[in-house]
Amino acid sequence: MIGPLTNLAMAIRLEPELPNLVKRVSIMGGTTEGKGNASMPSEFNIYCDPEAAHVVFEAFEVKKNPKILLFPWETCLKHKMTWSFYDMVTGRGPYKQTQAGFVLKEATAVCEKFCRVSDKDKVGEDWTPCDAYAAAVLLDEGLVTEGKDLYVATERSGILSRGATVIDWYGTKKTKTAKVVLAID
């Protein structure tokens, strides 16, 4: 899930057994430190539809081994790459283009246009492939070098915090909703 969770929430409402039918869900969304990109504490994907995020987290709540891999905004920011690295892996300039590099370039064209061209002064030399990270950890969970099974909820009515993810770091809730990815290789 690399956008608002509306479609997944609708699917759960239509088929309440869906959480039992899937092995794993990877979500790029939320914050672990309240450092948002859509509002002060809220990340864009959760902020756009916090009600859907609530439905999803609630539906996947378990006692242990949560099925959700949550890749939060701050983890993305801790794993930035340079645009020169992007050029190398996509085969731009003097670098040889591989088939994988071509696919990456095509898949990230909109991101590159927005982040590298349109927002150059703001973003600078950093490339943060958040959605690609969420896909990568779903394909190979071994990339996760630090993660914690935690209870994650969504603020749905706060004036300043609507769309913020609220995490039970101390284990007061006995159930878990997600493995929160804190670091990757």
Same domain, 155 and 178: yes
Instruction: Kindly give the confidence (pLDDT) of every residue in the chain, 185 residues in length, as a single tens digit, with 9 standing for 90 and above.
Output: 999 999 999 999 999 999 999 999 999 999 999 999 999 999 999 999 999 999 999 999 999 999 999 999 999 999 988 888 889 989 988 889 899 889 988 988 888 887 776 555 554 568 888 998 999 999 999 999 999 999 999 999 989 999 999 999 999 999 999 999 999 99
pTM (2 decimals)?
0.88
pLDDT at 110: 84
Place of tokens 């284990």: 171
**137 and 71 within one domain:** yes
Distance CA 37, CA 75 (A): 13
- If asked whether residues 93 and 179 sit together in one domain, one would say no
Does some domain include residue 141?
yes
Domain assignment of residue 111, given as a range: 82-127
Task: Give the list of residues 6+ apart from residue 117 with CB closer than 8 angstroms, or none.
Answer: none
Q: What is the pLDDT of residue 117?
A: 66
Distance, in Å, from the CA atom of 106 to the CA atom of 13, rounded to the nearest integer, reads 34
Q: Are residues 114 and 46 in the same domain?
A: no
pLDDT the model gives residue 62: 96
Helix axes 83-90, 99-107, angle to 10 degrees: 130
Crossing angle of the two packed helices 50-59 and 6-14, in degrees rounded to 10: 50
54 and 142 assigned to the same domain:
yes
Domain count, the chain: 2
Does 58 lie in the same domain as 119? no
Which pLDDT belongs to residue 121? 54
Domain at 29, CATH number: 3.90.245.10
Burial-class residue 57 by CB neighbours within 10 Å (0-12, 13-18, 19+).
buried
Q: Which of 112, 127, 142 is the last residue of a domain?
A: 127
Look at residue 1 and tell me if it is in a domain.
Answer: no
Instruction: Clarify whether residues 35 and 118 are in a common domain.
Output: no
Can you give the three-state secondary structure of the chain, one letter per residue?
CCCCCHHHHHHHHHCCCHHHHCCCEEEECCCCCCCCCCCCCCCHHHHHCHHHHHHHHHHCCECCCCCEEEECHHHHHCCCEEHHHHHHHHCCCCCCCCHHHHHHHHHCHHHHHHHHHHCHHHHCCEECCHHHHHHHHHHCHHHEEEEEEEEEEECCCCCCCCCCEEEECCCCCCCECEEEEEEEC
pLDDT given for residue 108 in this prediction: 86
Q: Tell whether 13 and 99 lie within a shared domain.
A: no
Asked, for residue 40, whether it belongs to a domain, the answer is yes
Distance, CA of 43 to CA of 166 (rounded, Å): 12
Q: Are 57 and 140 part of one and the same domain?
A: yes
Read off the tokens for 44: 């864009």
